[in-house]
């Protein structure tokens, strides 16, 4: 299985504590994550072993991303393992303090690319669009943290 890394960053004027709090308020993901609604399905959503689901799409058309929180280090890192096709792999958010205040938010996805050569070819075309959607979402998160 091929794995592709996708990384985007954004700066926020908010502290790492505030960014981490907004980032991990799973039911509010629709306020910043492009076309996505998330919910906690097991645990409290605030530590390793908790499970989440996020539906990305419009109306009934889209896909369900099932995740398990595998890393939890407030206010700096939350890591998930994507467990359901079509999204499998690892996702991690790092919230880094900036000198003089504010935060840098790093969103990294290591995604398993299915379907061999055909999947790699399709991903080459889709990756820039995926990166743009993640970048747009991360900028919205950064802005929301300053008004939350």
**pTM for the whole thing?**
0.93
Supply the DSSP symbol for 8: E
Dump pLDDT digits (tens) for 97-115: 999 999 999 999 999 998 8
Instruction: Give the single-character DSSP code of 114.
Output: -
pLDDT in tens, 22-56: 999 999 999 999 999 999 999 999 999 999 999 99
- Where b means 16+ CB within 10 Å and e means fewer, 123-133 reads beeeeeeeeeb
Question: Which CATH number is correct for 2-147, 3.40.50.970, 3.40.50.300, 3.30.530.20, 3.30.70.1110?
Answer: 3.30.530.20
Instruction: Give dist(CA 58, CA 139) in Å, integer.
Output: 21
């Amino acid at each position: 299985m091929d794995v592709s890394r996708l990384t985007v960053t954004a700066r926020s004027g908010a502290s790492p504590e505030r960014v981490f709090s907004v980032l991990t308020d799973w039911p509010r993901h629709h306020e910043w994550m492009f076309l996505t609604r998330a919910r906690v399905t097991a645990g409290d959503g605030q530590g390793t072993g908790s499970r989440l689901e996020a539906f990305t799409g419009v109306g009934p058309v889209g896909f369900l991303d099932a995740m398990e929180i595998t890393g939890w280090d407030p206010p700096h890192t939350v890591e998930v393992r994507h467990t359901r096709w079509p999204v499998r792999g690892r996702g991690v958010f790092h919230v880094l303090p900036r000198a003089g205040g504010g935060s840098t938010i790093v969103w990294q996805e290591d995604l398993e690319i299915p379907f061999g050569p055909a999947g790699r070819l399709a991903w080459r075309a889709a990756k820039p669009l995926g990166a743009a959607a993640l970048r747009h979402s991360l900028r919205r998160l950064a802005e929301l943290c300053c008004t939350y």
